[in-house]
A and B are shown apart, each in its own frame.
Chain A
């Protein structure tokens, strides 16, 4: 066998390996530069009591989940049952960020589908979303007691992500 003829095969093998790895990844996913950094310090009005507000500072000392959602977001309905399940376990505070939504429609949506959130805050112009690097709803952030973003999931939460990525991390942060 011609030794030189083996080289193109090897190179081809390398290309195939790259392709195989590449195909398992999602090209549309934009990794968050916020991981490990402090979450943006927001102050936002509470949906159910607009005269009051919640700030990121209020959550210091707690490990919590921030779920960005909206009544107009169809994909949010996909993860909703999972969030309801998760909320029942009372493992962590779950804060909802109502993103670029109308108050009446958000309230209606929660009444109709159920409210898994401990508190819902309103981001009507999307300004808070920009600070969090939100580009597609729903998005979920895990924030530690120090106020740092430890994990971000883009798209609806799935049982696999919850089980394999989120819960182990939560166990580490809050034993």
Chain B
């Protein structure tokens, strides 16, 4: 019986959680799809590591509403993105644009990787003798043996 009570409560919780999404989706699936596509490419400026699509911040709601009205007025995706960049700057693009200013951002890690690999190769090449064990003559071998015997017998 307890199981069914819990089940019933959970069922209603799930329904309740989805009810908040329903009004937005009911409007126009095509529009919502475009909105999702565009807002995926934009950053939420309040929680700056989130895209505009998923953010629940007040400003995000406002901006999504604004994008909807821009879509309805016939603006293209490019025009809407430009609209946002005009007002908020390049940072509003979730993926930084590939311009001379951001070349270092995009290519930097790869440059460092190649550079680091190059340094490794250079170091490995310039000290080949480190891999060969040193060759000992008879006297040195006797000394080694004596030292080893010494340490082995120590408490």
Which A residues contact B (CB, under 8 angstroms)? 28, 30-34, 100, 125-127, 129-133, 135-136
Given contacts A125-B62, A130-B62, contact A135 B46 (CB under 8 A): yes
Flag whether B80 is at the interface (Cβ < 8 A): no
Residue pairs across A and B with Cβ atoms less than 8 A apart, 22 shown, are: A30-B45, A30-B88, A30-B91, A31-B89, A32-B89, A33-B85, A33-B86, A33-B87, A33-B88, A33-B89, A125-B62, A126-B62, A129-B62, A130-B62, A130-B63, A130-B66, A131-B87, A132-B87, A133-B89, A135-B46, A136-B45, A136-B46
A32–B92 CA distance with the chains assembled, in angstroms: 11
> How many whole Å from B127's CB to the nearest CB in chain A?
11
Q: Which residues of B contact A133 (CB under 8 A)?
A: 87-89
Contact B87 A100 (CB under 8 A): no
The residue on B at minimum CB distance from A28 is B48
Q: Which residues of B contact A129 (CB under 8 A)?
A: 62
Q: Chain B interface secondary structure, helix, strand, loop or mixed?
A: helix
A126–B64 CA distance with the chains assembled, in angstroms: 12
Q: Which residues of A contact B92 (CB under 8 A)?
A: 30
Flag whether B28 is at the interface (Cβ < 8 A): no
A28–B89 CA distance with the chains assembled, in angstroms: 13
Which B residues contact A (CB, under 8 angstroms)? 45-46, 48, 58-59, 62-63, 66, 85-92
Q: Chain A interface secondary structure, helix, strand, loop or mixed?
A: loop
A131–B62 CA distance with the chains assembled, in angstroms: 12
Contact B45 A135 (CB under 8 A): yes
The residue on B at minimum CB distance from A136 is B46
A39–B91 CA distance with the chains assembled, in angstroms: 20
Q: Which residues of B contact A33 (CB under 8 A)?
A: 85-90
Q: Which residues of A contact B59 (CB under 8 A)?
A: 126, 135
A126–B89 CA distance with the chains assembled, in angstroms: 18
A30–B85 CA distance with the chains assembled, in angstroms: 12
> How many whole Å from B41's CB to the nearest CB in chain A?
17
Q: Which residues of A contact B66 (CB under 8 A)?
A: 127, 130
A157–B41 CA distance with the chains assembled, in angstroms: 32
Q: Which residues of B contact A131 (CB under 8 A)?
A: 87
> How many whole Å from B66's CB to the nearest CB in chain A?
6
> How many whole Å from A12's CB to the nearest CB in chain B?
14
Given contacts A28-B48, A130-B66, contact A135 B88 (CB under 8 A): yes
Q: A30-B45, A126-B62 are known; give 6 further A-B pairs, CB within 8 A.
A: A33-B90, A127-B66, A130-B62, A130-B66, A130-B87, A135-B59
A129–B45 CA distance with the chains assembled, in angstroms: 13
